[in-house]
Chains A and B, each alone.
Chain A
Amino acid sequence: MSKIHVTTTVNGDPVEFLADPRDTLLDCLRDQLGLTGTKEGCGTGDCGACSVTVDGVLVCSCLVLGAEAQGKQIGTVEGIANGSELHPLQRKFIEHAALQCGFCTPGILVAAKALLEQNPDPTETEVRYWLAGNLCRCTGYDKIIRAVLDAGAEMRGAN
């Protein structure tokens, strides 16, 4: 099966790769582009560890084909920080001990960033429902929710 030449933008950088028609965007990010921050926890869109944004829309990259990335703007965990300056969410996750093993963390950060961009002042319930597609087995979510709420407050200038 011949491969498809894909030209796209990841975290603002122009990239190109050859995708097997069956390769997911997740496979292409990890195996073709070496962006292994995005994780595969299930491959069926249930766990959210592979969350990325495609043209600003939050998706599971295991449910998107690599070929579909053509001409899009892809955002991954590697693009959340501005150089060495961490995004408030990243700082708050460390500060609140909101990660234990850290495997779900990239997907949750990408998802939480998308939430705060669309709803800068979410309630606890809104955060919980927004992140209901991101499984974490270590933390019981408590400190994750606190970190997201605190990051939102900081970004609003509320503290």
Chain B
Amino acid sequence: MAKSIKLRAKAKGGVATVKCLISHPMETGLRKDKKSGKKIPAHFIQEVTAEHGGKSVLNAQWSGAISKNPFLSFKFSGANSGDSIKISWVDNQGKSDSLDGKIK
């Protein structure tokens, strides 16, 4: 189920710029359903991790205040074109996904 993550990673001068887009509803748990008046249960990504060469390069902890279909971009050095990079996320309902991508 690696379809929820879109990844672009480019290396230039040893520095990789990673951009990823995750499709996720990111419900805060504070919003109400207009028809029934009931609260929509919280459903958001809590943790995103990025690994390069077996080492963690980024650990992001999110709340429901990150926009729907979240976008995340970061940079790290020591990367070469062709290296693999792994992005994974876990949400508050225990669902998760991960993607292995290549740096261009």
A and B co-occur in one complex: no
Give the interface of A toward B (CB within 8 A).
none
